[in-house]
Structure 1
Amino acid sequence: MSDQASDPGLRARQVDALTDEEAQAELAALAAEIAHHDERYHRLDAPEISDADYDSLVRRNRAIEARFPELVRDDSPSRRVGAETAEGFSKLRHGVPMLSLDNAFADADFLEFCASIRRFLRLEATETLAFMGEPKIDGLSINLTYEDGIFVRGATRGDGTEGEDVTRNLLTLADLPRQLTAPFPARIEIRGEVFMDKADFLQFRAQQERAAEERDERRARGEKVGPAVTIPANPRNAAAGSLRQLDPAITAQRPLKLFAYAMGDASEQPAETHEGWLQRLRDWGFTVNPVSELLADEEAALGFQKRMAEQRAGLSYDIDGVVYKLNRLDWQRRLGFVGRAPRWAIAWKFPAEQATTVLLGIDIQVGRTGALTPRAVMQPVSVGGVMVSHASLHNEDEIARKDVRIGDTVILQRAGDVIPQILGVVTEKRPEDAQPFAFPDRCPACGSHAVRPPGEVVKRCTGGLVCPAQTVERLIHFARRNAMDIEGLGAENVQKLFDEGLVKSPADIFRLARHADTMRSWEGWGARSKKDAKKVANLLAAIEARRSVPFERFIFALGIRRIGEANAKLLARHYHSFPAWRAKMLAATTIGSEAREELGSIQGIGPAIATELAEFFVEPRNLAALDDLAGEVTPQETVVVAAEGNPFAGKTVVFTGSLQTMSRDEAEAQAERLGAKVTKSVSKKTDFVIVGADAGSKATKAAELGLRVLTEAEWRGMAGLG
Structure 2
Amino acid sequence: MASIKEKIASLRDELQEHNYKYYVLDQPSITDYEFDMKLKELQKLEEEHPEFYDPTSPTLRVGGMVTKNFETVAHEHRMYSLENSYSKEDLEDWEKRIQRILGDVPVEFTCELKYDGASISLTYEDGKLVRAVTRGDGFQGDDVTTNIKTIRSVPLQLKGDYPPKFDIRGEIILTLEGFAKMNQERIEAGEDPYMNPRNTASGSLKLQDSALVAQRPLECLLYSIVGNNLGISSQFEMLEKARTWGFKVPTVAKLCKSTEEVMQFADYWDSHRHSMPFETDGVVVKVNSIQQQEELGYTAKSPRWAMAYKFKAEQATTILDKITYQVGRTGAITPVANLEPVLLAGTTVKRASLHNADQIAKLDVREGDTVFVEKGGEIIPKIVGVDFTKRPADSKPTEYITHCPECGTELIRKEGEAQHFCPNDTSCPTQITGRIQHFISRKAMDIEGMGSETVELLFKEGLIANYADLYTLTKEQVVPLERMAEKSAENLVNGVEASKAIPFERVLFALGIRYVGETVAKKLAKAYKNIDALMAASKEELVAVDEIGDRIAESVIAFFSEPTNLEIVNRLKSYGLQFSLSEEQLENQTDKLKGQTFVVSGVFETLSRDELKKLIEDNGGKVASSISSKTSFVVAGDNMGPSKKTKAESLGVPIISEQEFLQKLEA
| TM-score normalized by the length of structure 2 | 0.79
Indicate how the Cα distance of structure 1 residues 353 and 296 shifts in structure 2: closer, same or farther if over 3 A, else same.
same
* Residue 393 of structure 1, CA deviation: 0.9
- Report the equivalent of 1:192: 170
- 1:651-662 equivalences under 5 Å are 651-655=593-597
Letter in 2 for 1:608: R
Say whether residues 1:443 and 2:404 are aligned partners. yes
- Report the equivalent of 2:180: 202
How many angstroms apart in 2 are the aligned matches of 1:199 and 1:465?
54
Please tell me whether the aligned partners of residues 552 and 572 of structure 1 are also in contact (alpha carbons under 8 angstroms): yes
Letter in 1 for 2:615: L
- Report the equivalent of 2:549: 606
Percent identical across equivalent pairs? 38
Per-residue displacement from partner, 1:289-327 (whole Å, max 9, x unpaired)? 121233344443222112211210110000011112222
3-state SS of paired residue (1:462): coil
- Report the equivalent of 2:615: 674
* Residue 271 of structure 1, CA deviation: 1.7
Letter in 2 for 1:116: R
3-state SS of paired residue (2:98): helix
How many angstroms apart in 1 are the aligned matches of 2:161 and 2:586?
32
- 1:3-402 equivalences under 5 Å are 88-124=69-105, 127=106, 129-209=107-187, 213=190, 231-266=193-228, 268-402=229-363
* Residue 394 of structure 1, CA deviation: 0.9
Larger Rg: 2
- 1:590-629 equivalences under 5 Å are 595-629=538-572
- Report the equivalent of 1:525: 484
- Report the equivalent of 1:495: 456
Indicate how the Cα distance of structure 1 residues 178 and 459 shifts in structure 2: closer, same or farther if over 3 A, else same.
same
Please tell me whether the aligned partners of residues 616 and 623 of structure 2 are also in contact (alpha carbons under 8 angstroms): no
Per-residue displacement from partner, 1:42-98 (whole Å, max 9, x unpaired)? xxxxxxxxxxxxxxxxxxxxxxxxxxxxxxxxxxxxxxxxxxxxx953211111100
- 1:504-583 equivalences under 5 Å are 504-512=465-473, 514=474, 516-526=475-485, 534-581=487-534
Per-residue displacement from partner, 1:87-125 (whole Å, max 9, x unpaired)? 95321111110001112212222222223222211124x
Please tell me whether the aligned partners of residues 132 and 324 of structure 1 are also in contact (alpha carbons under 8 angstroms): yes
- Report the equivalent of 1:56: none
| Aligned residue pair count | 570
How many angstroms apart in 2 are the aligned matches of 1:255 and 1:505?
48
| TM-score normalized by the length of structure 1 | 0.74
How many angstroms apart in 2 are the aligned matches of 1:460 and 1:653?
37
More deviation, 173-182/465-474: 173-182
Indicate how the Cα distance of structure 1 residues 561 and 259 shifts in structure 2: closer, same or farther if over 3 A, else same.
same
* Residue 243 of structure 1, CA deviation: 0.8
How many angstroms apart in 2 are the aligned matches of 1:190 and 1:441?
52
How many angstroms apart in 2 are the aligned matches of 1:322 and 1:501?
51
Per-residue displacement from partner, 1:223-263 (whole Å, max 9, x unpaired)? xxxxxx7x532111011011122332322222110011111
Indicate how the Cα distance of structure 1 residues 495 and 314 shifts in structure 2: closer, same or farther if over 3 A, else same.
same
How many angstroms apart in 1 are the aligned matches of 2:591 and 2:231?
28
Indicate how the Cα distance of structure 1 residues 643 and 351 shifts in structure 2: closer, same or farther if over 3 A, else same.
farther
* Residue 422 of structure 1, CA deviation: 0.9
3-state SS of paired residue (1:510): helix
How many angstroms apart in 1 are the aligned matches of 2:195 and 2:592?
48
Indicate how the Cα distance of structure 1 residues 362 and 166 shifts in structure 2: closer, same or farther if over 3 A, else same.
same
Alignment partner of 1:690 out of 618, 621, 633: 633
How many angstroms apart in 2 are the aligned matches of 1:333 and 1:290?
25
Please tell me whether the aligned partners of residues 160 and 244 of structure 2 are also in contact (alpha carbons under 8 angstroms): no
3-state SS of paired residue (1:341): coil
- Report the equivalent of 1:423: 384
- Report the equivalent of 2:425: 464
Indicate how the Cα distance of structure 1 residues 414 and 606 shifts in structure 2: closer, same or farther if over 3 A, else same.
closer
* Residue 362 of structure 1, CA deviation: 0.7
- Report the equivalent of 1:65: none
How many angstroms apart in 2 are the aligned matches of 1:133 and 1:448?
52
* Residue 184 of structure 1, CA deviation: 2.9
3-state SS of paired residue (1:400): helix
Please tell me whether the aligned partners of residues 198 and 318 of structure 1 are also in contact (alpha carbons under 8 angstroms): yes
How many angstroms apart in 1 are the aligned matches of 2:226 and 2:383?
38
3-state SS of paired residue (1:542): helix
Indicate how the Cα distance of structure 1 residues 410 and 649 shifts in structure 2: closer, same or farther if over 3 A, else same.
same
3-state SS of paired residue (1:142): strand
Please tell me whether the aligned partners of residues 640 and 649 of structure 1 are also in contact (alpha carbons under 8 angstroms): no
Letter in 2 for 1:651: L
* Residue 619 of structure 1, CA deviation: 0.9
Please tell me whether the aligned partners of residues 336 and 669 of structure 1 are also in contact (alpha carbons under 8 angstroms): no
Please tell me whether the aligned partners of residues 548 and 635 of structure 1 are also in contact (alpha carbons under 8 angstroms): no
Per-residue displacement from partner, 1:564-596 (whole Å, max 9, x unpaired)? 112111101101223433xxx2x34xxxxxx43
- Report the equivalent of 2:655: 712
3-state SS of paired residue (1:421): strand
How many angstroms apart in 2 are the aligned matches of 1:314 and 1:210?
27
Indicate how the Cα distance of structure 1 residues 641 and 444 shifts in structure 2: closer, same or farther if over 3 A, else same.
closer
Letter in 2 for 1:618: S
3-state SS of paired residue (1:539): helix
Higher relative contact order (CA 8 A, sep 6+): 1
How many angstroms apart in 2 are the aligned matches of 1:520 and 1:443?
34
* Residue 694 of structure 1, CA deviation: 6.7
How many angstroms apart in 1 are the aligned matches of 2:585 and 2:651?
31
How many angstroms apart in 1 are the aligned matches of 2:215 and 2:150?
9
Indicate how the Cα distance of structure 1 residues 426 and 386 shifts in structure 2: closer, same or farther if over 3 A, else same.
same
* Residue 635 of structure 1, CA deviation: 4.0
How many angstroms apart in 2 are the aligned matches of 1:430 and 1:720?
73
* Residue 484 of structure 1, CA deviation: 1.2
Please tell me whether the aligned partners of residues 548 and 636 of structure 1 are also in contact (alpha carbons under 8 angstroms): no
Indicate how the Cα distance of structure 1 residues 294 and 311 shifts in structure 2: closer, same or farther if over 3 A, else same.
same
Indicate how the Cα distance of structure 1 residues 206 and 523 shifts in structure 2: closer, same or farther if over 3 A, else same.
farther
More deviation, 414-423/362-371: 414-423
Question: CA-atom RMSD, angstroms?
Answer: 3.0
